[in-house]
Structure 1
C-alpha cells in the first residue's frame, strides 16, 4: 500500500482517548485532519502500477462454481452500474491507495445504493437499513461512503441525469451521512444506539417533502407501493412461487440455471444423500450461533434444497435455499445458506479476527444493523475432497423491499440518496466512534464536496474499467451469458 499523509503525521495526533472522555474524543477526531485533511479525499488519479481490473475478476472466478461465472459476467455487462456492483474488489484495491482518516468502523464493504432496502425486524416492524454484508470488515469509515456516493454518480449517468442533478445526488448522500453522524454524536448514548429508520418514517418524510413541494404525487405513491409490496414478500409468498407438490412431496421448482434442485446439481444418489445430510447437519449445529436460546428453528424439519443464483457480485459463490416445514405443510420456512469468503477488503487491511468468514459476516451484520434476522448464524462445513467452506444462514424472504435504480427519477433519487447516507451513518455510529467521526467531518460542506469530487473521478475510472470488461468479453478472454 502507498503511504499517505495520515501515516506520516501520526506523531502530531494525540493518543486515542478513553471512551468516556467525550471532549477528548472530539479533540482526537479534529486532530485526524492534520495528517488527512478533509479535502484530501477528493483526489482519485489512476496509478501507473494499478492492477489489471480484468485479472482481478479472473482471480475471483477461479474458486467459484465454473458454470455460474458467465452468468455473473452477463449481469455485469448490462451497464456501468451493474459492472460496479460486481467490482467491489477493484474498488477495494483502489481505495487502499487513497488517503485514510484513521477512524475505523465496521465497514459494509459494498455500500452501493442497491444494497439498502426494507426488511422485517423480529418485532415485526418494517425497517430500512443496509442489507448486504458479504464484504463486511473493519476499516476507514470513508471507504463505505466513497463507494455509496460513487454509486449514485454512476447510476445517475446510466439514467441520463444532468451534471447538476448528479451533483445534487452526490452532495445529498454525503451531507445526509455527515449531518446524521453529528446528530448521533450529540445524542445521548442510548438514543444514538437505538436510532433506526422504519417504513412509517420514510413515508412520513416523503409526504412532508410533498407538502413542501420538494416531491410530487408520483413519488409519494411509489414509496407507498414499495412499502406495501415489501409486506407481501414473506415466507408464504415465497412458498407459493417456489414450491410444487410432486406425488405428495413438496419440492422446490427447478428454473435452471438460476434455481437447480439438489438432485440436479449432484445426480448420484449417494452424493444427494450426503449433500442433504450435510445441510441437515448445518441446520442442527448452527443453532449454537443464534442469539435466541430456545429458537423456533428446532420446531422445523428439512424438506428439500436447491442451488440459487443471487445478486451480481455474489454469482458463482455457493448459495442454497432450503425448504423447511413447521406444524404442517401450511407452515413453511425458507432459509438461505450462502458461502462466505474472505472479504475483498482483507488483503488491503488487517486480517479478520474470525477464523470463519461466516462468523465475520454475521457479527459484522449484527454490529451494523438496527435489528437483525433471528435466523442469522454461521457454520463451517467440510465438503468435497475435504475442502472446508464457510456459510452463513438467514431467512430467505421476510418483508423485502428495494428501490429500483433502473426507474429512478432525479427528485426521487435525491430523497433516496439522503436516506442512504443517513442509514450508513447510523450503522457506522454503532460500530465506530461517532464522536470522533463527527468532529473530523465538521459542520461545513468541505468533506461533502471532497467526496462528491472523488465520486466523479471514480465514476470515470469505472467507465474505463467497464469498457475494458466489455472488450475482454468481445475478445473471448472472459465468457458471459446474458439475459439471466
Structure 2
C-alpha cells in the first residue's frame, strides 16, 4: 500500500464556477415556475418502475468492492428489522428516487438523510451542537431526495415502534412542515446571517420544550450529558489495554481486529504501518495550518480495523491510536474508506476525483461546524487497488437519539428538529429563495411527503423480505448478532 501524493495547490480542485447573481424577485419567480412545472402534490406519488432493479442485486453490486468477510455482517445487521434494512438501503432508494418528481432546484445533499444520521457533536469551540453527521453519499442533487429519505425513515421507525398510522403521519408531517417553515425563514436571511446559523444543544432543548413532558425532556438531557463523555479519553479507556507497558487496541473480532491479527506476517504488517504513518503525514496537508501543527504533536501508537454502522459495513475503516505528551494524552482518529456516492449513477459524477475529498467538501458545506481533524487522502492498497479515505476523530462528544425507545411525542419533536436542521444545511448551498417559493405557505408539500413516506415504507418492507428470502435460499450469506 502506498500513499498517493496530495499537493494543497492541486488536490483535485474543481473547475471554477460562475455564480448567477439573480435578484430575490427573480429567484422567487424561478421557484414558482418550478412549482408550475412540477406540482408539489406530485412528490406524494410512489409507483415502482416497470423495470425496477432487483434490490438484492444492488446490494450485491456494493458488496463487490467491500471486504468479503465483512459483507455477511452487513446483511445480518440489515435483517434485524425493516428499519435497519432501510439504513443500509441508500443505493436502493437512490435508484427509486431517480424516477420520482424533482423541481430542478439542486443543493448539496446528504444522500442518506435518515433519522439516525443526525446527532450531537462538539464544535471546535467546544460547544455541543446538533447537525447531520454522516456524509458518505453527499453530492449535489435534488433537495427533495433528502426530504423524502428523511420522511420515510420516520414512517418506518414509527412502524418499528408500533405507532398507529395517525401517529406516524403526524410525525412525518411535523418534519416536512418544519423543513418548509425553516426554508422560508432562511430565504429572508442575509447570506452571512444564514452561514453563521447553527443549533446548539441549549437551543435544541428550547425547540423541544413545548412538545415534550418533563420526563421526556430529562431523558433527552441525560442522552446529551452522556455524549459529553464520549471523547478520546473514553475511547482510550474502553478500546485499549496495557501490553508490556504499551497501550494497544483491544481485539474484539470480527468487529475490531488489531493490525497484528489482521496481517500476521511481519513484513506485510510493517509495510502497512509505514504506509499508515505516511497517510497521516500526507493527509495533514488537507488540514488548516494550525491543525496540522496540532496533529504533529501526536505520534502513531497502534491501529486496528473496525466495523462501523450498517450501510458502511464492509468498507475499509481503520481506527488509529495516537499519543500526545504521554499515555494520558490520547487521540483516536478514524480513517474511513470513501467509495462512489450512491447518487452518482443517477445525478452525475462528483467533480472531485478523490471520494474522500468529496465527503469532506460536502460535510464542510452542509455542517455548521466540522471536526478539526477532518481531511482526506488516497492510498494504493497491498492488493493494488487505489482507495480514497477521509479522516476524522473517532469520538468527539458524539451522540445520537435513542430511536428504539422513543414515544410518539418524542419522535414528533425529533422529526421537527431534523427537518429544521436539513433545511439549514440545504439553504447553505442551494437557492433558498427559489426553494422557499416552490414550497409556499400551505401544507401541500408536507402532505405529499407523508403520502410518499407511507407508500415507500411498504416498498421497503417488500425489499426487506426479498433480502430475507435471498438469505434463506443461500443466495447471500448473513451473519447475525454482531
1:318-354 Cα distance to aligned partner (Å, 9 max, x none): 0000000111111000000000000000000111000
After TM superposition, the structure 1 = structure 2 runs for residues 69-468 of structure 1, keeping only pairs within 5 Å, are 69-207=71-209, 209=210, 214-293=211-290, 295=292, 296-468=294-466
Deviation at 1:100, TM superposition (A): 1.2
Deviation at 1:223, TM superposition (A): 0.9
SS in 1 for 2:228: helix
Deviation at 1:293, TM superposition (A): 4.0
Q: 1:190 to 1:308 in 2, by over 3 A?
A: same
1:143 and 1:291 map into 2 onto residues whose CA distance is: 32
In structure 1, what is the equivalent of residue 8 of structure 2? Answer: none
Aligned residues of 1:17 and 1:28 also touching (Cα < 8 A): no
2:144 and 2:117 map into 1 onto residues whose CA distance is: 17
2:194 and 2:398 map into 1 onto residues whose CA distance is: 25
SS in 1 for 2:404: helix
After TM superposition, the structure 1 = structure 2 runs for residues 25-36 of structure 1, keeping only pairs within 5 Å, are 25-36=27-38
In structure 2, what is the equivalent of residue 8 of structure 1? Answer: none
Q: 1:142 to 1:383 in 2, by over 3 A?
A: same
Deviation at 1:42, TM superposition (A): 0.8
1:436 and 1:294 map into 2 onto residues whose CA distance is: 37
Aligned residues of 1:17 and 1:25 also touching (Cα < 8 A): no
Aligned residues of 2:338 and 2:389 also touching (Cα < 8 A): yes
2:288 and 2:452 map into 1 onto residues whose CA distance is: 40
In structure 2, what is the equivalent of residue 57 of structure 1? Answer: 59
1:44 and 1:50 map into 2 onto residues whose CA distance is: 12
1:186 and 1:97 map into 2 onto residues whose CA distance is: 32
Aligned residues of 2:291 and 2:372 also touching (Cα < 8 A): no
Aligned residues of 2:291 and 2:373 also touching (Cα < 8 A): no
The runs of 5 or more residues in structure 1 that have no matched partner are: 1-15
1:64-111 Cα distance to aligned partner (Å, 9 max, x none): 101101100110000000000000000000000111110010110000
1:21 and 1:267 map into 2 onto residues whose CA distance is: 64
2:299 and 2:219 map into 1 onto residues whose CA distance is: 39
Quick check: 280-289 or 18-27, which moved more? 18-27
Deviation at 1:34, TM superposition (A): 2.1
SS in 2 for 1:307: strand
Q: 1:289 to 1:462 in 2, by over 3 A?
A: same
Deviation at 1:217, TM superposition (A): 2.0
1:221 and 1:475 map into 2 onto residues whose CA distance is: 47
1:421 and 1:290 map into 2 onto residues whose CA distance is: 31
SS in 2 for 1:250: strand
2:174 and 2:128 map into 1 onto residues whose CA distance is: 24
Q: Structure 1 length normalisation: TM-score?
A: 0.94
Deviation at 1:205, TM superposition (A): 2.7
Query: What's the RMSD between the two structures over aligned residues?
Result: 1.1
1:102-135 Cα distance to aligned partner (Å, 9 max, x none): 0010110000000000000001000000000000
Aligned residues of 2:137 and 2:342 also touching (Cα < 8 A): yes
1:45 and 1:292 map into 2 onto residues whose CA distance is: 51
1:381 and 1:427 map into 2 onto residues whose CA distance is: 30
Q: Which runs of 4+ in 1 moved over 4 A?
A: none
1:47 and 1:157 map into 2 onto residues whose CA distance is: 25
Count matched residues: 464
Deviation at 1:23, TM superposition (A): 1.1
Deviation at 1:166, TM superposition (A): 0.3
After TM superposition, the structure 1 = structure 2 runs for residues 35-46 of structure 1, keeping only pairs within 5 Å, are 35-46=37-48
